Chain A
Amino acid sequence: MKVDRRLSSFEMFTLTSILIGIKLTDTTPSLFSQKAQNAFWYIPLLAFICILPAFLVLLYLLYKHNAKHFVHLFELLLGQGLGKSLAFIIFILSFVMIALDSRNYVEQIKILYFQRSSILIIFVLFGSVCIFGAIRGIEVVGYTTRIFWPFIRISFFILAALIFESVVWQRIFPIFGAGVPVILEEGVSKGSLFLDFFLLTMAFSAFRKPSQFIKGGLIGLIFSIAEITFFFFLYTTVFDYNSIEKISFPFHEVTQYVNLGDFFTNIETFFMVFWLLATFLRFILLLYLITWLFGAIFNIDEFELLLLPMGFFLMVIGLLPDNAVVTELIYRNKLLNIITPVIALVPFLLLLIHFFKRKKDLT
């Protein structure tokens, strides 16, 4: 039997959902609530609306030019030198982003479950799992994600159902939180929440048909954004604005808080398993994509050999910050604000050049 080794739209859907949707479990909600207070729950929605046109343009161009991935597209439109430099800037930004993100997740594992282990050992283990997983290639990552996706989602759904009785929905008022200008500014500047999707377009050629990538990706984005908004809504209504600012990991606070009746009281480990699984899948994928990006920029075809050094460097950079608070509130916040204009504007720049070139071709 001949197996088609390339990915389909459902896998794209699950990949997007894992990449973006899992952000609801980390420190993103507390980061948003610092400024926006109780209105932070619809900030992802605002950010999504701001960033969606850029993604649509990018997907359109990729489709139109039949490009392999976005580096290829940059080269086609901007020429080799300029295209590669632009891709390199994006590479640097996302590389640091992924490093800080991985530190964030390692910190969660350490603080909540392995308090006495050193951060280095957890990081090494985490990195090894990601490298080992990424070496199998994008197809295997896609299949694995497809298999585990329902379990991860069901566990999240159970958590939402269990916490539902603690929801006091009036807590979303006053509806504009810290004030309309603050909300809009936060919404616009946090579009980089979806940087991962930009990276995912590296895998554009790994799908059977480009249309499957587009279909799965868009549905995945909409699904993730709905999920994130729903969970952020739960956090707002469960914790209220004064408390959410002070909690680093609302998802884990919730898993510690819920009980399954009188008998099953400490059930956070149940959720931890699925959360850990999702985290691994996400970083396996991110590591693979960032290495692919690096390979594409420097014309390295056998880029999978670079996974090990790449994972090592991610780890070293991730270990640099002192603690989770610094990582989150200073570095990650600034980086998110820097990345947003890049990923929001680059596609439009490309679109301009695209029309310009087409005109020139016609004449």
Chain B
Amino acid sequence: MKTISLSGLLILFILIGCEDMVEVDRQSYVIAVGIDVTDQDGIYAFTYQIANPEAGSTLAGIGAEQIPDETITVFGTDIMTATNTANSFVTKQIILDQTRVLIVSEALARSDQFLRIMQSTARTTEIRRSIQIIVSKENASDFINNNSPVLEQRPHKYYQYMLSRAKETGIIPDADLHRFFQITEGDADLFLGIYATTTYDPKELDGSEDEFVAGQVPKEGGNVTQFMGSAVFKEGIMIDRLTGEETRICNILDKTMNINEMLANYPDPLAPEYQVATDVFQTDNPKVNLNYDSEMNHATIDVTVPFEVKILAIPSLIHYSQNEDFKRTLRDAIEQYITDATDELIKKSQEAYRSDPFYWSIYIRRHFKDIPAYEEGDWHKNIYPNADITVNYQLKRLHFGKMLDDTKLDEVRD
């Protein structure tokens, strides 16, 4: 008798743990959440892209054609209640644990509602801080509906691979929720969100490969979705967008961003009608040397960026590799080109944005004794817009790849 009652008690204890249990096949995994504005203030349209776990798995069999995801849109005031509303026609419990991206329409990002909706997102336990924030040019619901990757049909893989590859090349920033709150709450810098679109609006080809924002990249075939450039947020409101090239510069100058390598074209100094294709890699973090004059509340910033370049192609067939003079010209030209582009961006940020997208406020902090003094100094209203900034690119090494020299054009064509 005693054993029976004891074991009964034991089972009771173990089974209490099942209170929160939900079977895996009774959950709907949302991969992407889209948020749009509606006509009414405080009401948003939430779009959920729900993954179908059976699609693409080997167990699903060959005959049955499984669609990889389902997209639904509901209206509500915040993510969690909208999730509940969605359950009026979604059969299973909607789970946000696996959500990878949060897509916000540009219209919402540019309104002052954006910070409110983000705040309620952060409060949700299920939402992770590693979710990436994407700003779409069109409505987020259209973005999710139009996006139809062919090779990566399963949506979680698609977002994961797409974003990690684009980040490696530096054309989009690393824009997770964590960083968004860091920068927005820190109230000192500009946050860069990923800019993407599914509408195609090609720009005239001018030879350079990264002076686009999403939607302008000329292409044929492939998915309609483009991730390119970034949306600039100041104090939680989107104020502008940066092209892929500008985003790259931000990534280079920001020590908290990691970019592995990037392929970039630069105008050929000796034959301006051609471009030199290069692979640029950053070997070290930029050295930011910040001097602060507390009486004048004025800062002088010297930035040194060491980098290396591997030449991939020289269509003009000029012998850069063996002629020292040519080589020096090429080095200077590349350094000059990046420096000019950077100076232009810095000027734009100082004058138009009046804040920095490079997360440089971390360097000024050591010059203050405590936080009240630091907030008094006001990095992004007073110090940065008036700072003297010099950026110095140092091309450490110039590699020429596996070819010693290019084809001798005059010899071939004699």
Contacts and interface: CB of A to CB of B under 8 A. Distances in A.
A331 interface: no
B365 A170 contact: yes
Given A37-B371, A125-B16, A241-B371, A168 B129 contact: no
Given A114-B20, A125-B13, A170-B365, A240 B371 contact: no
B414 interface: no
B186 A240 contact: yes
B182 A243 contact: yes
Contacts, number: 86
Nearest to B129: A257
A171 B365 CA distance: 8
A301 interface: no
A66 to B, nearest CB: 43
Nearest to A171: B362
A115 interface: yes
A117 interface: yes
A180 interface: yes
Interface string B169-182: 00000000010011
B158 to A, nearest CB: 13
Contact of A174 (B160, B187, B363, B370): B370
Main secondary structure of the interface of B (DSSP, over half): helix
Interface string B192-221: 000000000000000000000000000000
Contact of A170 (B125, B366, B374): B366
B373 A174 contact: yes
B70 interface: no
A37 B371 CA distance: 8
Nearest to B9: A128
Interface residues of B, number: 32
Interface string B342-382: 00000000000000000000110110111111100000000
B185 A240 contact: yes
A178 interface: yes
A180 B371 CA distance: 10
A128 B178 contact: no
A115 B20 CA distance: 7
A85 interface: no
B128 A257 contact: yes
Given A256-B129, A266-B128, 4 more contacts: A125-B17, A256-B130, A257-B130, A266-B98
19 contacts: A37-B371, A38-B371, A115-B20, A116-B20, A171-B362, A171-B365, A179-B370, A239-B182, A240-B185, A241-B186, A243-B181, A243-B182, A243-B186, A246-B185, A253-B129, A256-B130, A262-B160, A265-B130, A266-B128
Interface of B: 13, 16-17, 19-20, 97-98, 125, 128-130, 160, 164, 178, 181-182, 185-187, 255-256, 362-363, 365-366, 368-374
